[in-house]
Structure 1
Amino acid sequence: MAKVMIRVDDEVSDELLSAFPHLVSSVSHVQTTLTGTVVDQEELQGVINYLASMGVTIVDVLTIPE
Structure 2
Amino acid sequence: MMIRVDAEVSDELAGAFPHLTARHHRAQTTLTGELLDQQELQGVLNLLSSLGISVVEVVTIPDD
Q: TM-score, normalised by structure 1?
A: 0.91
- Structure 2's unaligned 5+ residue stretches are none
Q: Higher strand share goes to which structure?
A: 1
How many residue pairs align between the two structures? 63
Return the structure number with greater relative CO, CA threshold 8 A, min gap 6.
1
Q: TM-score, normalised by structure 2?
A: 0.93
Q: Deviations over 1:24-61 (max 9, x none)?
A: 11001110000000010000000000001000010000
Moved segments of 4+, more than 3 Å = none
- Amino acid in the other structure paired with 2:50: S
- Structure 1's unaligned 5+ residue stretches are none
For 1:35 and 1:15, the matched residues in 2 are separated by: 16
CA RMSD of aligned residues (A): 0.7
